[in-house]
Amino acid sequence: MERRDFGRLGQISALTLGGGGLGGVWGSTDRDEAVATVHAAVDAGITMLDVAPSYGDDFEAERVVGAALRARPAPDVLVTTKVQVHDVPPGGDFDGLIRRSLSGSLSRLGRSHVDLLLLHTQLLPLDGSATAAGTIHFSSYQDAVVPAFERLRAEGLIRGWGITAVGHPASTVEALTSSPRPDAAQVIVNALDLNGDMWIYPDVTPDGPALVAAAGSQGVPVLGIRVVAAGSLAGSLDRAVPADHPAAVDFARAAGFRKLAAEWGEPAAVLAHRYALSVPGVSSVVLGVKNRAELAECVAAEARGRLTPSEVSTIRALTEAR
């Protein structure tokens, strides 16, 4: 599998195994199959596992990865986890919250450190307008969260830190360009720039390519997330959702993408992964798979290679047409 530069942490595989599927977020699975999927990913050359305390009931994704790595240690595989810290509604001791969350994650993972700790909370507009539950003001991020992360890195409990870059665009760009800068950013990267239920700013248009460019201009490595738009860019949704659910709405909007995939002789999900892998500036694509069969499809997509610039442009034109 292709290896790509990942800044402070060296090189990582072009594919990263995400924890959403392992935790049952994207449809049902069981512990044995999830653990087997981790082992299959490592065997396929994947060198990063990306989990979070919120992925699954009772921290299931972290427990899966912990069980998998205890059964088959893989010291060269990097592990990423996340922390949610907010001040809407008002938060408290940010440093304490972050440390307690990380301590729990390390215990479940069976590790003395994680390679990357990501802020899993959306940044509010720089002026503090437009608040929503579970968000954080940029000033709190800059003045409290970043220093806490820097201390954890100095103590050796994390090797690097980053952000899930799906908050307000102006604040996210400010976070990517302010010093100290994150060691990585997770950015929504998919063929139609679909943000689904992660987008909370109806008066602002999401622009994933602009965020990838902003990160690249500052040397911040990008992990592409939501590459199949929560299943909306696949051939079918693999879970039942109401007709007005963002995934169902996006699935309908993606009809042209599925038509193009069929014309090119590719399964829609394969083309979606190949597109994300072809976006300049993306270090690795995070997979949302929940079993070995889905993993094998993604590994095969990576092996097919990058799309040509012309093919990427054809797909990008669908965004403007939708």
Residue 165: give its domain's CATH number. 3.20.20.100
Q: How confident is the model at residue 128, as a pLDDT?
A: 80
How far is residue 13's CA from residue 21's CA, in Å, rounded to a whole number?
Answer: 19
Q: Do 169 and 113 form a contact (C-beta atoms < 8 A)?
A: no
The pLDDT tens digits for 5-60 are 999 999 999 999 999 999 988 888 999 999 999 999 999 999 999 999 999 999 99
Count how many domains the chain has. 1
Closest to 20 measured CA to CA, from 6, 9, 34: 34
The model's pTM is 0.95
Q: Which residues of 70-100 are buried (b: 16+ CB within 10 A; e: fewer)?
A: eeeebeebbbbbbbbbbbbeeeeebeebbbe
Q: Average pLDDT, stretch 312-317?
A: 93
Q: Average pLDDT, stretch 119-135?
A: 89
Element (H, E) at 225: strand 222-225
How far is residue 8's CA from residue 213's CA, in Å, rounded to a whole number?
Answer: 19
Q: Do 97 and 144 form a contact (C-beta atoms < 8 A)?
A: no
Distances (CA, A) of 97 to 37, 63, 230: 31, 20, 29
Quick one: how far is CA 14 from the chain centroid?
13
Q: What angle do CA 43, 47, 34 make, to 5 degrees?
A: 60
Taking the CB of residue 131, how many other CB atoms lie within 10 A of it?
13
The pLDDT tens digits for 260-283 are 999 999 999 999 999 999 999 999
Q: Look at residue 320 and give its three-state secondary structure.
A: helix
The pLDDT tens digits for 64-118 are 999 999 999 999 999 999 999 998 877 678 999 999 999 999 999 999 999 999 9
The pLDDT tens digits for 137-176 are 999 999 999 999 999 999 999 999 999 999 999 999 999 9
Q: How confident is the model at residue 204, as a pLDDT?
A: 86
Quick one: how far is CA 19 from the chain centroid?
9
Distances (CA, A) of 143 to 42, 94, 146, 163: 38, 10, 7, 15
Q: How confident is the model at residue 270, as a pLDDT?
A: 96
**pLDDT above 90 coverage of the chain, percent:** 85
Structure tokens at 182: 């994150």
Structure tokens at 268: 């829609």
Owning domain of residue 63: 3-321
